[in-house]
Amino acid sequence: MRSKRAVFWMAACGLLIAASSAPAAWQTPGPVDAVQQTDQGVELTTRSGAVLRVSFVAPDVVRVRMTPRRWFERDFSYALAAAPPVLPMVVEGDATSAAIRLRTVQPGGSWVVVETRPTPLIRVFAPDGRLEFAEDSRRPMAFDAADGAVETSVQREQTELYFGFGEKALPMSRDGQYMTMWNSDTPGYVPGLDPIYQSIPFFIALREGRSYGVFLDSTRRTYFDMGKTTPSRYTLGAAGGELDYYVFTGGKDHDAHAVLQAYTRLTGRGLLPPLWALGYQQSRYSYTPASKVREIAQAFRDKRIPADVIYFDIGYMDGYRIFTWSPRDFPRPKELLDALHAQGFHAVTIVDPGVKVDEDFPIYRAGKPWYTRTAAGEELHAQVWPGICAFPDFTQPGARAWFGSLYAGFLDQGVDGFWNDMNEPGVFIPSGWTKPVLVHDPAKTFALDARHDGDGLPGDHARYHNVYGMQMARATFEGLSKLRPQQRPFVLTRAGYAGVQRYSAVWTGDNASTWDHLAMSIPMLANLSVSGVPFVGADIGGFTGSPSAELYTRWLQAAALTPFMRTHSAIDTAQREPWTFGGAYDEINRATIELRYRLLPYLYTLFSESAATGVPPMRPLWFEYPRDVGSWQLQDEFLLGADLLVAPVVQERATTRRVYFPRGDAWIDWWDGTRHEGGSSADIAAPLDRLPLFLRAGAAIPTSPVAQHTAEMAGLPLTIAVAPGAQGEGRVYQDAGDGFGYRNGAFEVDRISVHADRVHLDVPAATRFRRIAALEFLGIDTAPRKVLLDGKPAGETAFDAASRRLRVTLPPRPVRDVELKR
């Protein structure tokens, strides 16, 4: 949606200018006539009747709220994990002042200056006095009195970059882009198409190595012009309601870590997933009948290809009715699921929001109090897979509770996790439609005047569209939590809004089997990650179309170290399992999945950190190296944690690729031990059987022997991979892999510190979990003269000159220090 404001203002007071031939209605709030301090912040009443409210929700987080009316709605947000706090503040100045100054009473906080004439302008300063965020006086905050739209513009430096914005099919940095937030069902979307499935109106700015963040909290259609129209400013706005945004100054270090931690303190953090959900997952639309599911499961075990999850797409249902099984294709579902469990598999079933309108269908009858209504108050009906359907209004607490209770039967049968799809919400074009069908056709979702409860703030679908899918995921998550309180829920959703990480993992929807989509998956997932959503992935090989053997193999490699790893494909595509292409591809794909299982202890440790801090496992390079210009806009590399640099091959027939190594650290090739200095680039050998992978010098990360599924891993010892030659540290987090015992202390954190050629292990004398049984040193050119364990010669070592690896086996007794004598 293009902004309806004019490209320029004829007067600072902001009288109207039309962006088209329609009557002009945009106006600024006008001069401040009154200033009042309340328990919700400082309120500024303006000449137009519009009211601004400014508050501090943390010393480094400022909230600005503007209503074009004379009153604010009840302060409620689906994005926030809890009501935002309001910190005490000091106010300097009043309505007669040219500007007022607001600051927290806490030391080291940010401060705000609000110019009062000719219309309010917000300036946010970091604790060190640097101006971090400044609304643009040439295009100040305004509202459209005709239709209620609101927006503001912010000054920007032309070298400022922007990251986040959730799921966008765009390059890594979003500077120079115009983006809309409107969840849309867009199968086979092309690069550059916007919007698609998820709407997260939050971004992190990078300016000369410093970061700040902005979150526009509106579930309506919102838009962001990040310097595309005018390079000296960016604009953010919403199609109606209040203007409600947060500015995150990044704390004393002005870094992206602090911004993301502050944002996720407000919107919540993803829970630690069950370990099995981090294993490899296999899906197809659809594996039917039951014999096909058994065949797929048995093939994984026979071929010794690790896997943890098999999916059931809509083909498992009886006439596409949710929470049913086809009596013909799946006559004994519990027996089937028991058999999968016996082989170490977990089962995930798809659940759509559409409930078939059928008086003989008990679920339809039971849901009648909870369905979305038309503007006329009738039950909203639209066509999806089962035919004509009704749709729960997930903005009603009662509807969420009812829908969540429906999972009981499937849980009793043995289903382990649930996948919410078609929840943008997406519906089919009505039969008999004679108009051209557009990619973003309004007929592909609910009518904008459909009615929702809004948890006590009733409104139309235009207001609540973007939150519908997230609230479905919430209903699922809360239902599972109530029905199985001792198990960690696994929920996967296609649509979502800011805060969706509290309830669900996310995948990038119906992508396509092209090299462009493979390449695009890296910036898409990295930006979702820094939007507060840690558990993310893309359909391996592309959902629509059929990949070549090479494309599938390279995509599997690229996805091996992303947080969520699933192969999935459409019903009309060629079969797509890791063994489908035969020959050498079988061995390569097996080794790729084995690499993931070897590194699962590290990935699980990163998820434990993410649950505590909001910092995601998958990170763009700039996130860790904000002052390294070379890392800012890389499209085809990412970091797993701070220690593994992953550089997938995303070009057809490539057997080498150029890799940039972030400045400030050296990097050790995982496969041959070659050392690369930070700030350099190199052409790296990348034959079809190799994922270019590098360990940061000074890092120590946990690895595991290969297992066929995660349940086999509990009894296997750990090995710590160490890149010596620099100072650093590592952690190993362990718990039961499921349940919530870790909240009561049933976990262990082993700490490893690296000092050049000496490694110190801080581990319990008697572990309740997996023992560290060995260290592997990477990048060792020659075997050391000796290896000392707590000052005594090591009993067992093995040096491999080809891979430059030294393996040191640890005895059963506790070892504190391991030292290499060169």
Domain at 26-267: CATH code: 2.60.40.1760
The rounded distance, in Å, linking the Cα atoms of 776 and 780 is 10
| Residue 12 reports pLDDT greater than 70 | no
Whether the CB-CB separation of 133 and 45 falls below 8 Å is answered with: no
pTM of the predicted model as reported, rounded to 2 decimal places: 0.96
Domain boundaries, the chain: 26-267, 306-489, 717-821
C-alpha dist (Å) from residue 2 to 6, 176, 179, 196, 238: 10, 14, 9, 16, 11
What is the pLDDT at residue 767?
Answer: 85
Q: Which CATH architecture has domain 717-821?
A: Sandwich (2.60)
The tens digit of pLDDT for each residue in 141-180 reads 999 988 899 999 999 998 999 999 999 999 999 999 999 9
- The SS3 call for residue 551 is helix
Of 235, 255, 312, 285, which is closest to residue 9 (Cα–Cα)? 235
C-alpha dist (Å) from residue 271 to 80, 472, 477: 15, 17, 11
Kindly provide the residue ranges of all beta strands, DSSP E only, lying in 661-778, ordered along the sequence: 667-669, 675-676, 681-685, 693-696, 700-703, 718-722, 728-734, 748-755, 758-762, 772-778
The tens digit of pLDDT for each residue in 623-674 reads 999 999 999 999 999 999 999 999 999 999 999 999 999 999 999 999 999 9
Identify the CATH class of 306-489. Answer: alpha beta
| Residue 15 reports pLDDT greater than 70 | no
- Half-sphere exposure in the Cβ direction for 484 (13 Å, CA): 20
What is the pLDDT at residue 106?
Answer: 85
Query: How many helices and strands in the chain, by DSSP H and E?
Result: 13, 54
Write out the catalytic residue numbers. Answer: 421, 424, 510
Whether the CB-CB separation of 114 and 125 falls below 8 Å is answered with: no
What is the pLDDT at residue 353?
Answer: 98
What is the pLDDT at residue 42?
Answer: 98
Say if 26-267 and 717-821 have the same CATH topology: yes
The tens digit of pLDDT for each residue in 77-123 reads 999 999 999 999 999 999 999 999 999 988 888 999 999 999 999 99
SS (H, E, C) 624-648: HCCCCHHHCCCCCCEEECCCEEECC
pLDDT band at 24 (very low <50, low <70, confident <90, very high): low
**Cα-trace Rg, the chain:** 27
